[in-house]
Amino acid sequence: MLHGCLLLLFISGSLADLNLISAVANLTSRPLEGITKNNKDFIQIAIENGYNAEKHEVITDDGYILTVHRIPPGSNCTKKIPILLVHGLLLSSECFVDSGPDAPGFILAQECYDVWFGNVRGNFHSRRHVTLDPDHDLKFWKFSKDEMGQYDIPAMVDYVLDVTNAKKLIYIGYSQGGGSFFIMNSEKPEYADKISLFIGLAPATRQYYTKSILDRSLVKAIESLQTPLEASGVWEVASQGLPIQGTLNTLCQVKLLAAVCNLGLSAVDSPHPGSITSETTRRMFEHVPAGTSIQNMAKYGQAMNELHFVKFNYGSEENLKVYGVAEPPEYDLGMTTMPVVIFHGESDHLVDTRDMDWVVSQLPNVLEYVTVADPLWNHVDMAFSQYWKKQIFTTMKKYLNKYDNI
């Protein structure tokens, strides 16, 4: 999950207009045509770094059209198990390649894995549906990570296994990408047999102890205003190409200002000087924020009220219609039965250590719960740090090798 850039946008809007709905509307107005035309997408970044790359389409059971990227193994590689990486909130597949030659996606490709990169519903790669128009149909945006776990993740898993003719894959979920994986297992436990190993990079479930004041303030505000926002036509948050997003994109391309953009991220998460390079920051702002729904942001606000990992809370009356009970049911983390490795940073202000400890205590097959050695390691570092290879991959590699069961 990466609220940082959205919060920078929110603050900018709020300074101009202290009315909260107006400030949120500044984040959700229609994108400007051409504002992102010079930005490099996943395919271009991969080619720039010497890799072949592919673009695939996956259609979910409820009709969302998802883009999935792939870096296939080189011709000199021995066949290995496919790996599926799924991004966090307000991110896209580019988050795994934005940090240059030693980005997570490229490190895995160097190891000859068949590497796949998902994009969940509502981000700028997956803003499509077989019948619904995201610009005119509120129904398109009536989703949270609940639906991502129930529909998007299973669809991507099935697609990767079908294309590669593999029996199992390794799944790496960053933040929301980890939380939605737990939802899949709870709702569709048969998928446990399709996963050789799950690696969680600070997976987001409950967020009762989130430290970030800015993060907490934003998602709680959106939670409280979901109904009036949607009634006024505000369905989407932080779409790629917003005027203010384009302004930040432009500013962060300037070397002298990239350091200021890094400071902005630190204000949301926690400071980690030098971990994310200025070049990575400039590239990051070409793709971040990648967009999601108002309802999904409200879901994160709800997660800060709960000591358990529960489904979306529609209110007692609607819950009775949807779930048959007044309170939203809990997800069963015990259904994540495959081998699990979890990475967490001590300075993560978005997924707090106490919340992460709780998640790990609910999982039945944890091989290792890794606290990153660097005491300043934060949430954003999990995808973008220049030290990812040393701090994460060195430990990850031994488990990848052990569970490379094609």
pLDDT digits (tens, 9 = 90+) for 309-318: 999 999 999 9
pLDDT at 300: 98
CB atoms within 10 A of CB 401: 10
Q: What does the mean pLDDT of the chain come to?
A: 89
Q: What confidence tier does 112 reach under pLDDT thresholds 50, 70, 90?
A: very high
Q: What residues contact residue 115 under an 8 Å CB cut-off, 6+ apart?
A: 70, 71, 82, 83, 85, 105, 108, 109
Q: What global pTM score does this model have?
A: 0.92
What 3-state class would DSSP assign to 60? coil
pLDDT at 239: 73
CA distances from 7 to 249, 279, 358 (A): 14, 21, 27
Q: What confidence tier does 138 reach under pLDDT thresholds 50, 70, 90?
A: very high
* CA pair distance 242, 222, nearest whole angstrom: 18
- Hey, what are 163's tokens? 């294309």
User: 23-59, pLDDT tens digit by residue?
Assistant: 454 454 444 443 345 689 999 999 999 999 999 999 9
* CA pair distance 294, 298, nearest whole angstrom: 6
* CA pair distance 8, 30, nearest whole angstrom: 18
pLDDT at 281: 86
What average pLDDT score do residues 228-239 get?
Answer: 91
pLDDT at 75: 87
CA distances from 108 to 16, 157, 295 (A): 44, 18, 33
207 and 304 Cβ atoms separated by less than 8 Å = yes
Q: What confidence tier does 10 reach under pLDDT thresholds 50, 70, 90?
A: very low
- Hey, what are 272's tokens? 């980690």
How large a percentage of the chain has pLDDT more than 90? Answer: 77
pLDDT at 263: 67
By DSSP bridging, strand 114-118 and strand 169-174 are unpaired
Q: Which amino acid is at 353?
A: T
Residue listed under structure tokens 């998460």: 269
Query: What domains can be seen in the chain, in order of their start residue?
Result: 4-402 (3.40.50.1820)
- The answer to whether residue 308 is catalytic is no
Catalytic-labelled residue, pool 92, 93, 99, 175: 175
Residue listed under structure tokens 């996943």: 42
- The answer to whether residue 239 is catalytic is no
Q: What residues contact residue 357 under an 8 Å CB cut-off, 6+ apart?
A: none
Q: What confidence tier does 288 reach under pLDDT thresholds 50, 70, 90?
A: confident
Q: What confidence tier does 244 reach under pLDDT thresholds 50, 70, 90?
A: low
User: Among 181-185, 288-292, 393-397, whose mean pLDDT is lowest?
Assistant: 288-292
The conformation of residue 96, written as its DSSP 8-state character, comes to: G
Catalytic-labelled residue, pool 272, 347, 379, 385: 379
What average pLDDT score do residues 268-280 get?
Answer: 90
